[in-house]
Amino acid sequence: MDFHSRQFPRAKHQVFINFRGHELRCGFVSHLVEALQRHGINVFVEKLAGIGEDLTNLFAKIEESTIALVIFSRRYTESRWCLDELVKIKERTDQGLLKVIPIFFKVEPVTVKLLRGAFGDQFRDREWEYRCDKPRIESWKEALASVSREIGLAFKKKSNESKFVKIIVKEVEKMLQLQVNLEVTPFPGRHCMNIIASTQEPVDLSRESVLVHENANISNKIVVVSKGYMDIEYQNGVLRSQRAELNERLNKLNSIMEGVIRETPEFLLPPKTPDR
């Protein structure tokens, strides 16, 4: 048994990675998985289980895990699977049964929190797709707001991917070691995250990545503003869609009327009013 196996003798899957497969599977995530495994950390990623595994099985893997890495990327909200997994991760974190590290991969934390840009547009597409399932949509919003408030790591567009992967591995090892040292089961998710934040060594990430740690009160205010913003954006989107549909129908009606007038004999048309 190697050093890391003796050091972290915990859950069946120590780390569960939640990510947008089509965007990251063959690049960043594959490098991250390799690095974690090289350090003796047992990691579950969908690729290792087979594409298209049932969500129930994936939820079971989350329950078997100690840490969840949630990788927010530009195309994350394209996938309702990512969002459903995120809801499960939030549920386990709230119960004190899972720790979570959000990773903002080439997206700003505020983009995730306020559902801006392509990230937000794709979420609103999912809202429209599942508009008949309001509880599900609300659970997605709550999970996005909650997890994006946690302490996380941000990867900028010009960052060094190799160094960033090493930083993630280091943070995961710290979390696993802290769990062993404290010997707390179950452990309170948010409190443990705060302990880590206060005991970890400062890391200079000015050029490679940014350690995101925001004040809880400010975050709560952002969530309130975010919810209002999302509701307004959703209503605006519906109104824009309805207006476009009405304009299209009006244009078709005008075209039909012009065709009817052209084909109607002149003696059947109402007399023209003379100009005054």
Q: Tell me the HSE value of 172 on the side-chain side, using a 13 A CA sphere.
A: 31
SS3 call for 263: helix
Give the single-character DSSP code of 20: -
CA distances, 136 to each of 85, 118, 168 (Å):
12, 21, 31
Peptide bond preceding 109: is omega within 30 degrees of 0, i.e. cis? no
Cα–Cα distance, 13 to 171 (Å, whole number): 17
The three state secondary structure string of 61-85 is: HHHCEEEEEEEECCCHHHCHHHHHH
Residue 165 β-bridge partners: none
Tokens of 234: 């959703």
Cα–Cα distance, 56 to 134 (Å, whole number): 21
Tokens of 35: 């690095």
Strands (E), the chain: 13-18, 43-44, 65-72, 99-105, 152-155, 209-212
Q: Cβ(96)–Cβ(189) under 8 Å?
A: yes
Given the residues 23, 46, 78, 85, select the one marked as catalytic: 85
The two most distant CA atoms of the chain are separated, in Å, by 103
Which amino acid is located at 160 in the chain? N
Question: Is 85 known to be catalytic?
Answer: yes
What residues act catalytically? 85
